[in-house]
Amino acid sequence: MQKKIRCVVGMSGGVDSAVSTFLMRERGYDVVGCTFRMFDSPGSQKAVADAKQIAEFLGVRHEVVECAADFKEYVMDYFVNSYENGLTPNPCIMCNKFLKFHYLDEVRKKYDADFLVTGHYAKIKRNEADPFSSVELHRAEDKTRDQSYFLYAVDPNILRRAIFPLGGYAKPTVRQIAAQNGIHVAQKSDSQDICFIPDRDYVSFIRRYSTNNSGFESGNIVDRNGIVLGRHKGIVNYTIGQRKGLNLSGGPFFVCAIDAIRNEIVVSHLENLRENVVHLRDVRFLNGEFLGDCQVQVRLCSKRTNASVCKNSEEYFVQLYSPEFGIAKGQHCVFFDDTRVIGGGIIC
């Protein structure tokens, strides 16, 4: 009798990972469910309980992996430190890069599994004749749910083992599959953008979490020439492109820079906030270095725009064909060739 191919599925307790587990079981895989306990909260406890219930219902093995210490270091500390230093973080990208896929791959090795699986809306294209050779990461069919932007920084060696079963589905279909097959989280609401801040009040979270509260010290609001226009309430309260809450005359003004060293918020009129060159650090490519024309996405909620990836002796940078509004240091610029993810880097 032929041995089943084994996979490890990251189970968050939500409908997406539940349906991913169901689909892999239906496709004949030997499935092991894995849930990460990344921080302690009522929501986190509920997620673990839901994941255990789903695994039991579907008849798959399940284990809980404790990773709170690494989550604190690579995600929560990074998040707070970024805001205190005038940067705009993306904790989901860092969690995927340093935590989720790393731990999932360790569990895969523990169970001698062939693949690791998550409920991300993205696609992996592989050579079926040699499925563990280099693979391509692509956008999901449902572009409104696509999460490939969050995955560009995952180790390519780990992506070679990845399967994303939901890449060809729309969210309503996923909920329908769950409901038709008796999965109790079929109508469970989607997780928040920042899982460890369920009320979305990131400023209050930083105040509670920070060890020095340096980002809450009042300072000057200045124009691009350094002329003082007013006072701010602490740099963590402001983001690039922000207009509300500045309380300045002569506007409208928008935040164009956050200077943590001087504790200053720099503002300008809208016409001065469009940039056509994006400087990058920590650039990584999924299938070898790429230079030239492509499409880029400079933040999660922005549309992709035509650009060219360039390199000089010191750094990679992106030349945008059309100037982009509100480019923020600390955010991620991701490169695409149509649906394929080429790579990306952190805006500096």
Q: Per the residue annotation, which of 7, 92, 195, 333 is the catalytic one?
A: 195
Torsions phi, psi for 173 (to 5 deg)? -65, -40
Among 20-34, 210-224, 283-297, the range scoring the smallest mean pLDDT is 210-224
Cα torsion at 137, 140, 143, 146 (round to 10°)?
-70
Cα torsion at 246, 251, 256, 257 (round to 10°)?
-50
As a whole number of angstroms, the distance between CA 169 and CA 156 comes to: 24
List, in order of start, the domains of the chain with CATH numbers: 6-180 (3.40.50.620), 217-272 (2.30.30), 275-347 (2.40.30.10)
More confident residue, 103 or 41: 103
The helix (H) or strand (E) run that includes residue 168 is none
**Residue whose pair of structure tokens reads 């880097």 in the numeric block:** 345
**What's the Cα-to-Cα distance from 58 to each of 24, 50, 184, 301, rounded to whole Å?**
11, 12, 11, 35
Q: What is the pTM of this model?
A: 0.93
Known catalytic residue: 195? yes
Q: Per the residue annotation, which of 7, 34, 92, 95 is the catalytic one?
A: 95
**Residue whose pair of structure tokens reads 């060739």 in the numeric block:** 337
Amino acid at position 329, single letter: K
**What's the Cα-to-Cα distance from 136 to each of 48, 102, 126, 159, rounded to whole Å?**
31, 19, 7, 9
The pLDDT of residue 1 is above 60: no
Mean pLDDT of 307-334: 94
As a whole number of angstroms, the distance between CA 183 and CA 151 comes to: 27
pLDDT 10s digits, 121-158: 999 998 877 777 789 999 999 999 999 999 999 999 99
Give the mean pLDDT of the chain: 93
Amino acid at position 7, single letter: C
Cβ-contact 197, 207 below 8 angstroms: no
pLDDT band for position 343 (50/70/90)? very high
Please give the pLDDT value at position 309. 98
Mean pLDDT of 33-51: 92
Tokens, residue 311 = 């390199």
Q: Give me the residues paired with residue 295 across strands.
A: 306, 336
Amino acid at position 75, single letter: V
Cβ-contact 115, 9 below 8 angstroms: no
When mean pLDDT is compared over 129-133, 212-216, 236-240, the highest value belongs to 236-240
Classify the C-alpha dihedral 52-55-56-57 as positive or negative: positive
Name which of 325, 3, 326, 347 is nearest 335 in CA terms.
Answer: 347
* Span between the terminal Cα atoms of the chain, in Å: 56
pLDDT band for position 2 (50/70/90)? low
Known catalytic residue: 256? no
Q: What percentage of the chain has pLDDT greater than the value 90?
A: 83
**What's the Cα-to-Cα distance from 184 to each of 71, 79, 86, 175, 179, rounded to whole Å?**
28, 33, 42, 10, 7
Q: Give me the residues paired with residue 190 across strands.
A: none
Q: Which residues of the chain form beta strands (DSSP E)?
A: 6-10, 30-37, 61-66, 115-117, 122-125, 136-139, 162-163, 219-222, 228-232, 254-259, 264-268, 274-285, 292-297, 305-311, 316-325, 332-337, 340-347
Cβ-contact 259, 314 below 8 angstroms: no
The helix (H) or strand (E) run that includes residue 55 is helix 42-58
Please give the pLDDT value at position 323. 92
Classify the C-alpha dihedral 66-68-69-70 as positive or negative: positive
